[in-house]
Amino acid sequence: MSERTMRAARFHGGSTGLRLETVPWPVPGPDDVVVRVAACGICGSDVHFLEGMPVPAPLPVTLGHEPAGLVETLGTNVSGWKVGDRVAIHLGTGCGACATCRGGSPSACRTQRSPGLHIDGAFAEAIRVPATCLVRVPDGVSLAAAALATDCVTSPYHALACRGKLEPGERVVVIGVGGLGAMAVRLARVLGADSVVAVDVSPVALERASKVGADACVRIAPGEDPALELQIRTQGGADLAIECVGRPETVSLGVRALRPGGRLVVVGVGMQPPRIDLPQALFCVGELAVAGSFASHVEDLARVLALEAEGRLDIEASISHRLPLERVAEGLEMLRTKTGDPQRIVVEMDV
């Protein structure tokens, strides 16, 4: 009997980049499931890997960490799921036993193994993951929307609700309103923010942010520092700022946009040290707080999917491009160069 195979977009690193290859169909371990992939979002992190950011996994590896699909095969120890269940795949869970997990930060667990980062991901026809990563997709939510929810939506939700502890009536600044930041604007309104100010270099991105709930938009022009304008527009400083760019200067801007006692949550992933650009005395006297935020918790994904099912998010509307698996490299280049003004790009498979 010939071995069952599938297509997968494999990253080899360096100049070799991404190649569509034929690989063995995954087989579940005792605690795993195999999910037939229906959709997988293309994320900025995938682009960063192609640009040289180290991949945690040994190469080659199948990229893609925003998947949803249908359960196909169950490991012998797996219960509570059946073949055909519609599922979104969370980025990964911690060990549950270390001090980091017990302290409420499983996404920062050093033993976490995430699809598309540490193990083979979902730019493929099927993926094997631990059953603990599965979240049920509610009726009425498309698998494409569920795929984007796994990272693009849950990451800003986690930053706002869990790390930033957003309270109803607070004033929020979102710096960088691409795909992730625009969703942060939308979520801030859903979570009860009194006002949201969007900041970006792109007029197109700011226009989109206005449509999803931004009360004001501030464009960063070359050589200009909008910190004072942000202080004015938030009537003395933001209660909470969310940085979705990953650059030292935008972290600095986020800090300087805060009111005394305000919080900055850094979501953007960059390789340079973050910058505060305030005298330490002012930072301390103002009791400012800066926190990092990475990915989300499984509970965050379940909550986001519930919000989508209630019609409060409309993730589907954020999808600007849908591509087949054989065009995944094209989609990555589109996102890297911003060709065609991509907002969210989804790779879709026939299931």
Contact (Cβ atoms closer than 8 angstroms) between residue 349 and residue 72:
no
Topology adopted by domain 165-292: Rossmann fold (3.40.50)
Helices (H), 201-279: 203-211, 227-233, 248-256
Residue 2: predicted pLDDT = 60
Contact (Cβ atoms closer than 8 angstroms) between residue 284 and residue 167:
no
Show the low-confidence residues of the chain (pLDDT under 70). 1-2, 15-16, 351
Rg of the chain over Cα atoms, rounded to whole angstroms, equals 20
Find all residues with CB under 8 Å of 76, minimum gap 6, and list them: 30
Residue 95: predicted pLDDT = 85
| Single-letter amino acid code for the residue at 72 | E
Beta bridge partners of 322: 346
Residue 1: predicted pLDDT = 47
Contact (Cβ atoms closer than 8 angstroms) between residue 125 and residue 351:
no
Domain locations in the chain as residue ranges: 5-152+296-348, 165-292
Tokens of 69: 């699909």
Q: How far is CA 180 from CA 46, 128, 185, 279, in A?
A: 14, 26, 9, 31
212-253, pLDDT tens digit by residue?
999 999 999 888 899 999 999 999 999 999 999 999 999 999
What is the rounded CA–CA span in Å between residue 289 and residue 262? 6
Q: What angle do CA 282, 286, 291 make, to 5 degrees?
A: 100
Residue 52: predicted pLDDT = 82
Q: Residue 105: how many CB atoms within 10 A of its CB? A: 16
- Please, what CATH class does the domain formed by 5-152+296-348 belong to? alpha beta
Helix 179-190 and helix 203-211: axis angle, to 10°?
30
Tokens of 156: 């800003």
